[in-house]
Structure 1
């Protein structure tokens, strides 16, 4: 029973079926779908003979034709069985109630579909006869649907959040002629930069989720075939600190190469995804082949795309932005739009009125307005309307998370942006310098001790989570007051300062060791006398002097020059480390301050770097972990994209 409870919780986290949660709490069962739709389950045969389980919801009103809205998912198209219906279908309630044919499909190797599953299954550009990938599976499915589902108007749209968002991206590559609109949302772009990795660093906080994707199955099933590792602790920081090196986590998995002191245990699982992670620590062909953003030149102009992302999405921030930019780069004639809002992972699908991420409140009805006025309008225009480029929607519809208001632009980033370099000073100041200004004095050193026994936590909360979320807007005062976190900030701003685009941290560093991670955080320091009020804050917090984390990122230092070919640091040698932080749209308002934090551990969001170079950190031993002294030089700078 615990397994199914965990599955339900995790599905909510990844798919963000907040509407479903609301229904389950309601004493009244929502019967709209049952009253207005019929359900049919079919197994569609792919070109290589594998059958994919597909559920089709068709309006009972057969007096007109409808478009097909399809979601392909690894998280199950359930409920299975005659007479069992979802309580809500489609991207949102408006598209459900106005009538569309809504299709869900279990992707290859998941749940009731045949075949063997592969995370981010590699795209095959020039397929031979009967060769298949997710692109061909999508094409074959659409082909069957438009030929066999009654009352369809010949137009198909795809959508999905998180992993289903990835499959929506896939649908647009070498697309079927019937596909007219695709909306990849919180879509994974590349597994070396999304979800389980960030710039080569392993997201240790996702450890418990690995078995969801890596437990082998080759027969259809309507029940969970995997189990989750048991932590037996409510303190994930201490749990992972006590576990020590990543190699000690092998005890939760069983396979030949990595089976350490193998004994049979009901808590152990055979996991090909864990093995893949451990055996491929660098950005090699395994990870490159799984990346999808490399193929945005294959999206035809016949498919309109609307990419949706959350500005505070801890899981998939890289994917949506890079997917949008990739289509923009290659598809000059494509209709391609970006929606970038104040959400965590998939929260735009919520039916809730209040919009907040963690402790930080952004306003009311933000998600509801998106569903009604943006998402519904997009699909209706391209599936039921004229389908031309005059959709009435902006190219970029983005939320200023500082001013808490939406803006529309003809491009993203907006055309009127400039790059500005702000330097890190030895007296904890963040100082703007004209690009033509030369340093009059020799850069100074700022040092801190990075203790592997006492790493910097990513959150002050004492808890365990499947996938972290709220830390993306957490108050960073707890970190700013540690000696192993360097703090640099501006004076109180006398006018608004708006960032609109990516951020590049250009660090000049050194270490007494031969390895190190580098983390940079951009923070909005609120005034002590702020008038902002938020009665939903955690009890120990106040909005007075709130340190809002606007953006943050890590780079595993060994990958500073190449993700394919890692290299050690030369001890005590000054070295360039450049870290790209994903786009923001945030105004630091007059009276606030801009703060930068620099640190070398972020635990257990990411795994602990040994700080001595080893070929494979996943196989590092206790003796490899050493406390080191790190140096940041004052000719380090942060390159902001500033809206003028």
Structure 2
């Protein structure tokens, strides 16, 4: 029983996270499992009744649904629903979650809380399909997650007592994807939706970034890859035992990637799909949801974390797509959070070594999330919420700001050029020059100094990058000490002009805030570090160079030929303060967050051989630039 509970907690960490989100490993997850079993919070059990039902979908498949209804039946309540692939546990009408709903305020004021195991997962019937493709204009018994959501809401509003007929959906990460999905062909009773850290497209979220495989998520494919054919209340999959606490060394020892096949076979359907679909082909395109977000009717509040290593693409592009293609109430909130931090009750908000303030998540839950749902589910629902269109946290100044849109209106594009002698300047030299480095895929640049086995990396998103800037295979470009504040508010576009002696290469670009030498430490800093001259990672991204012109039609580099490679980094809202410096690092490995490119072009890197991995020399030309969105 404990083993199965542990499995549930581990994948819950992947989506919702536990109390410790700085660097999550197996031992820490087991500790959290023990905390779950000894919880003494009985509010839900004291104030709610619990009922479990199997709701029949239009094709006859039954989905397990758990309903928590307030014991106080003197008034009516809206329904708040989360659909999840991660289980409605605990099962049994006498077994209660310690906390229900999006936050404690919505739980304590009274709402009908509903959880559902999605099709093919846990105690629901049917066949699971990872990021099930949306079917427009469905006919007959055709089903997708939109129809399952519609059918569920239809049953709930007609069968649950004491409801006022209004429904809201929400969820973090994969449940956030299902919340987004509820917007498509939405039920008339669906009034408010909050996709949070929502997956938008698996080719750009979580497992793949611009064609590069996020190797550090390899073990997480167990959660999604193993299928079941009958309802179950127990975990049916296991995570591979890698036999070491040194993740970097494990993946070095298992390069090329084909060596990892010893740990999984074709029964891991999702890993097989990743290995067989290495371009942005029809398989991935059909599973994306961003392109379908048009003419949305319910009110939407998209939520994300500026330091979410898993899902930045999804939240930003969900908001932007709805904003562009719909005329509904649509807002966005981004705070100084890692994956799902805003749903936790921890007072002190710390990511890695960086403290951003106290009470930030509670502020969001009480003054933003609760206000949003109450307005559209219990209130006037006229859109006059008093909330900002975009409520964003400046991760440099460590303060909230509100805007009428995102990115803000009063911004401009500004380019900085990568010059020899490690300089980042607003003007490029007229003479052609390059900054060169030797990239060895057998000795890749680590993404973190920490020696740990991390189930899903998070802490590194604010990590000190000094260790990388001091390596010869990392190029560093830095401004002079800033004489005034510089605030980035929007996306970042790196326009590299490069060459390589090989035929393949990855390109990683990092934007870094260099602190002054007199910056004082806080209690949150790791023992071996100081905030004096700290190199705080603000944003990073990778592109597998073969996809520089097209995500669907990869092509090799021509050796020693100057080639443009553009790479978009997801939005930031960060002020580089006066006295700080802006730094950009360019490298070709970021291991094992990202798998090592052999640097010899092969059609499928999952089938690369030992002899394909070769040392190559890369050059970055001095007309390479990084384009910032600057707040005026």
TM-score range, shorter chain: over 0.9
| Cα distance in 2 for residues equivalent to 1:200 and 1:13 | 22
**Alignment match, 1:524:** 513
Deviations 1:199-241 (A, max 9, x none): 1100000011101101011100000000111110111111100
Matched, 1:381 2:370: no
With over 3 angstroms needed to count, the CA separation of the structure-2 counterparts of 1:628 and 1:90, relative to structure 1, is same
- Note closer, same or farther for the CA distance 1:340–1:118 as it changes in structure 2 (3 Å cut): same
The answer to whether the aligner puts 1:563 opposite 2:551 as a matched pair is: yes
Instruction: Kindly report which structure 2 residues correspond to 1:423-462, keeping only aligned pairs within 5 A, or say none.
Output: 423-433=417-427, 441-462=430-451
Q: Please say if 1:416 is aligned against 2:439.
A: no
- 1:274 and 1:3 map into 2 onto residues whose CA distance is 22
Match of 2:472 among 483, 489, 512: 483
Residue of structure 1 in register with 2:25 after alignment = none
Q: Distance in 1 between matches of 2:293 and 2:62?
A: 28
- For 1:441 and 1:24, the matched residues in 2 are separated by 62
Secondary structure in structure 1 of the residue aligned to 2:178: helix
Task: Check if 1:508 corresponds to 2:533.
Answer: no
Shift of 1:254: 2.1
Q: Match for 2:75 among 48, 64, 74?
A: 64
Are 2:459 and 1:470 equivalent residues in the alignment? yes
- Separation (CA, whole Å) in 1 of partners of 2:33 and 2:531: 29
Q: Distance in 2 between matches of 1:509 and 1:370?
A: 43
Q: RMSD over aligned Cα, in angstroms? A: 1.5
Deviation at 1:28, TM superposition (A): 6.5
Is 1:398 the equivalent of 2:399? no
Which residue in the other structure is 1:260 paired with? none
Pairwise CA distance, 1:63: 0.8
Q: Does the Cα contact within 8 Å between 1:3 and 1:228 map onto a contact in 2?
A: no
Once residues 3 and 197 of structure 1 are traced to their aligned partners in structure 2, the CA distance between those partners, rounded to angstroms, is: 28
Give the match's secondary structure for 1:456: coil
Give the structure-1-normalised TM-score.
0.95
Cα deviation per residue 1:36-73 (whole Å; 9 max; x = unaligned)? 10000000000011000000000011111000000000
3-state secondary structure, aligned to 1:297:
coil
Question: Structure 1, residues 456-504: CA drift from partner, whole Å, max 9, x if none?
Answer: 0000001111100001000000101000000000000011000000000
Q: Could you tell me how far apart the structure 1 residues matched to 2:530 and 2:378 are?
A: 49
User: Residue in 2 aligned with 1:259?
Assistant: none
Written as runs of structure 1 = structure 2, the 5 A alignment for 1:21-170 is 24=35, 29-170=40-181
Deviations 1:97-132 (A, max 9, x none): 000000000000000000111110000012120000
Output the TM-score relative to the length of structure 2: 0.97
Partner of 2:324: 329
Which of 592, 596, 600 is matched with 2:588 structurally? Answer: 600
CA shift at 1:374, angstroms?
A: 0.3
Change in Cα spacing, 1:81 to 1:453, as seen in structure 2 (3 Å) is same
Q: Closer, same or farther in 2 for the Cα pair 1:535/1:497, shift >3 Å?
A: same
Structure 1 residue 13 and structure 2 residue 14: aligned? yes
Residue 456 and residue 366 in structure 1: after superposition, are their counterparts in 2 closer, same or farther (change >3 A)? same
How big is each residue's C-alpha offset from its partner over 1:387-444, in whole Å with a ceiling of 9 and x where there is no partner?
01111100000000000000000000110000001000101110013xxxxx663320
Q: Could you say if the C-alpha distance between residues 83 and 7 of structure 1 is closer, same or farther in structure 2, counting changes exceeding 3 Å?
A: closer
> Structure 1 unaligned runs (5+)?
256-269, 434-438
Match of 1:628 in 2: 616
Cα deviation digits, residues 76-115 of structure 1 (max 9, x gap): 0011112111111000000000000000000000000001
Correspondences of 1:293-304 after superposition (within 5 Å): 293-300=290-297, 303-304=298-299
The corresponding residue for 1:273 is: 270
Retained in 2: the 8 A contact 1:10–1:466? no
**Is 2:201 aligned against 1:190?**
yes
User: What is the DSSP-based 3-state SS (H/G/I as helix, E as strand, rest coil) of the residue aligned with 1:319?
Assistant: helix
1:3 Cα deviation from its structure 2 partner? 5.2
Residue 263 (structure 1) aligns with: none
| Cross-structure match for 1:261 | none
| Structure 1 Cα separation of the partners of residues 39 and 341 of structure 2 | 24
CA contact under 8 A between 1:23 and 1:29: conserved in structure 2? no
Structure 1 residue 290 and structure 2 residue 287: aligned? yes
Seen in structure 2, the aligned counterparts of structure 1 residues 541 and 530 have a Cα distance that, compared at 3 Å, is: same
Question: Quick check: 1:311 aligned with 2:306?
Answer: yes
Q: Relative to 1, partners in 2 of residues 1:557 and 1:540: Cα closer, same or farther, differing over 3 Å?
A: same
Deviations 1:155-182 (A, max 9, x none): 0000100100110000111110000000
CA distance in 1, matches of 2:201, 2:486: 32
Q: Cα 1:440–1:102, aligned 2, differ >3 Å: closer, same or farther? A: closer
Structure 2: state its 5+ residue gaps. 21-30
Q: Name the counterpart of 1:348.
A: 342
Secondary structure of the structure 2 residue equivalent to 1:244: coil
Instruction: Say whether the 8 Å CA contact 2:7–2:235 is kept in structure 1.
Output: no
User: In the TM superposition, what is the alpha-carbon distance from 1:9 to its structure 2 partner?
Assistant: 2.6
2:259 to 229, 248, 270: 248
Q: Deviations along 1:307-364, whole A, 9 cap, x unmatched? A: 0000000000110000000000101x21000001000000001101000111111010
Deviation at 1:544, TM superposition (A): 0.4
- Name the structure 2 match of 1:436: none
Please say if residues 222 and 239 of structure 2, whose CA atoms lie closer than 8 Å, have aligned partners that are also in contact. Answer: yes
What is the distance in 2 between the residues matched to 1:570 and 1:28?
A: 60
CA distance in 1, matches of 2:86, 2:469: 39
Equivalent pair of 1:429/1:490 in contact (CA under 8 Å): yes
8 Å CA contact 2:389, 2:405 repeated in 1: yes
Contact 1:526 1:546 in 2 (8 A): yes
Structure 1 segments, 4+ long, off by >6 Å, are 25-28
**Correspondence for 2:527:** 539
Is 1:70–1:156's contact at 8 Å kept on the other side of the alignment? yes
Deviation at 1:22, TM superposition (A): 11
For 2:531 and 2:478, the matched residues in 1 are separated by 18
Aligned residues of 1:23 and 1:30 also touching (Cα < 8 A):
no
> Do the aligned residues in 1 keep the contact of 2:429 with 2:622 (CA within 8 Å)?
no
